[in-house]
Structure 1
Amino acid sequence: MSTQERDWYQRAGVRGGPRRRLTDEVATGRAFFPPALVPYLDHPHVAALGEAKRRELLARHLFQYLDFTAQFETRVVNRATERIAGNRCGVATDVPVRLDAYRIYCDEGYHSLYSLDVIQQVSLASRVTPLEYDFGPFLRRLDAIGTEALPYEPALAQLLQVVVFETLITAVLNEIPKDPDVLTVVRDIVRDHAKDEGWHHAFFAQFFRELWTQESGASRGRIARCLPGLIRCSLLPDLRPVRASLAAAGLAPSAVEDVVRDSYPPASVDRGIRRASRHAVRLFQEVGAMDVPGGAEAFDAAGLLP
């Protein structure tokens, strides 16, 4: 058994991690989510709602983050990971790679399980009801990018979606575990998730290198021009649940639009996308995606280059 195999069987959250449980910290006033990562929380319209409503907004922001995670892992990541594991991805892979893909498949399903578990625990303790979240519009936008760039290669488009997402570095995974004011159960599951994602990142970075070497020159051009759109779609804030949460907190429609406009200015959103995508962009630069016709232009047009 290789070191990587042994490490997974001993260290993967789904193999040896405990079920993370909420204690009595809701009653002590611990934050549901880091306020600094919620752009609209200090907007004057939101501040005027009072502290109780602001805590509800933080709770619903947590619920939306975890709900998105649960659905993305199963409906996007595992959709492509199962192709690799089942030897149906169009890339020549050996059995150890397929076994690693099955391990990642198990990891991602477990991330979805404990995301929903924590939503339920926190909702019951806080008496804040999660709002329904429709993942469909996001998934349709993500799939449409691949359909446009790779109209006859849906499996390849799905693989690229996962390569992109698994090589992004977001503030949530980095910062929540270090924030002592956030509920311990939230910090624990995000830390657990980040630990697993560290080796997922390495797997998909190497997988993309193999994929790239096996593609033709024409296909590489299509891939390079597809990647920037996938990056932006993956990182653009989904404002539908933000609007729904603000409305549920009592803001009028005009005030909701004021908060959204002021809290998510395009320049700030673009900076966040560049910051979170820098490792993915570096990977694509290293393999030569910027050197194929239209590659560098596509990344520059998407605002992903310095």
Structure 2
Amino acid sequence: MKSPLDGWYEKAGVRTDPRRVIGDELDAGRTLFPEKLIPYLDHPLVQDLEPGRRFGLVARHLYQYMQFTMHFETSVVNRAAARIADGTSGLDLPSSVRLDAYKIYCDEAYHALYSLDVVEQVSDATGIETPDYDFTPFLGRLDGIGADVMPGEPVLVQLLQVVVFETLVTSILKDIPKDPLVVGTIREVVRDHAEDEGRHHAYFAAFFKELWHGMSPALRERAARCLPELVSRSLTPDLVPVRASLTAAGLGEAAVGEVLADCYATDQLRLGVRASARHTFQLFESAGVLDVPGARDAFMAAGLL
């Protein structure tokens, strides 16, 4: 079969893309992130802030997105890609599949590199400090699902994590490159990322079907109960940096709480998760995940179907 990573040496961003460098576009009034994709920016309490403080919110939202990307690529995706590549995944895989996993490993490391590079460039250009970002609690929650639902299967949980995340289609990767109001360098970096991720999506969709059909029926039932929570936790936003950013913008504790409650309501978050995970759900459907006893009920209980 033709691999989605065929032509990697000629097409991959790490092989062909130049370093993206921010010029003078900020002076022309461009923004750093599409404001429609920042849930709290139109909240009345935030709209009342002076322009400089609102710009700081946009900058810190970009920082949060890029820092999350940097950590997720190296701590979650590459953790699993390395297992596939080096033969410690527990699966008997052809060498071509393992080599492709190493290509993805290189891609993701480069995505992490230019994500941090963008943060440093923007911080230097704007003077807006980069807040500390602790990825450990998010990773702990993600890994905790396995400990709770699939004890004794840490490697399988890591493989399921990467399948879930690499088959999601978020609005950020689609919308930022098309937004003419966003600084061109940021649009180009996200476009570079999206092009690589399209190939990764195809790779992990195929990988999941092999992984799924290689499980025993009992293990499939356990995995099917684990997947809804993996999807939800992968897409539920980390509100700690949001809270810190709103506070830095000058909002008091009560106002910050009101903004978070209004903009991150449970029903709204579930709708966002469903939209971003629709291709992942289609993959699960085609592989037969929802045919496993109790699986559809588990997805329904999680509010995903």
Q: Check whether TM > 0.5.
A: yes
For 1:147, the equivalent position in structure 2 comes to 147
Structure 2: give runs of 5+ residues left out of the alignment: none
Secondary structure at the residue paired with 2:46? Answer: helix
Amino acid at match of 1:35: E
How much has 1:4 moved relative to structure 2?
A: 5.2
Listed one character per residue, the Cα deviations across residues 185-214 of structure 1 (whole Å, up to 9, x for unaligned) are 110010000000001000001000001111
Q: Give, in whole Å, the separation in 2 of the partners of 1:94 and 1:147.
A: 30
Give the match for residue 198 of structure 1. 198
> What's 2:295 paired with?
295
- 1:33 pairs with 2:33: yes
Shift of the 251–281 alpha-carbon distance from structure 1 to 2, 3 Å rule, reads: same
Structure 1: segments with no counterpart, 5+ residues: none
Shift of 1:114: 0.1
> Which residue pairs with 2:266 in the alignment?
266
Q: Which amino acid aligns with 1:108?
A: E
Tell me how far apart the structure 2 counterparts of residues 286 and 140 of structure 1 sit (CA, whole Å).
30
Q: Distance in 2 between matches of 1:178 and 1:4?
A: 24
The aligned amino acid for 1:144 is: G
| CA distance in structure 2 between the aligned counterparts of 1:81 and 1:54, rounded to whole angstroms | 39
Structure 1 residue aligned with 2:242: 242
How many correspondences in the alignment? 304
Post-superposition offset of 1:173: 0.3
Taking structure 2 as the reference length, the TM-score comes to 0.98
How far does residue 82 in structure 1 lie from its aligned partner after superposition? Answer: 0.1
For residue 252 of structure 1, report the CA deviation from its aligned partner.
0.6
Distance change >3 Å, CA 297–CA 6, structure 1 → 2? closer
Q: SS at 1:182's partner residue?
A: coil
Amino acid at match of 2:123: S
The correspondence of residues 30-69 of structure 1 with structure 2, limited to 5 A, is: 30-69=30-69
Output the amino acid matched with 2:135. Answer: F
> What does residue range 153-302 of structure 1 map to in structure 2 within 5 Å?
153-302=153-302
Which position in structure 1 is the counterpart of 2:101?
Answer: 101
* Helix, strand or coil at the partner of 1:92: coil
Q: 1:304, CA displacement in angstroms?
A: 1.3
Aligned partners of 2:276, 2:137: CA distance in 1, in Å? 22
Aligned-partner SS, 2:290: coil
SS at match of 1:133: coil
Contact 2:5 2:199 in 1 (8 A): no
RMSD, aligned CA: 1.0
Deviation at 1:129, TM superposition (A): 0.6
State how far apart, in whole Å, the 2-side matches of 1:118 and 1:49 are.
Answer: 26
Structure 1's consecutive aligned runs of 4 or more residues displaced over 6 angstroms after TM superposition are none
- Percent identical: 56
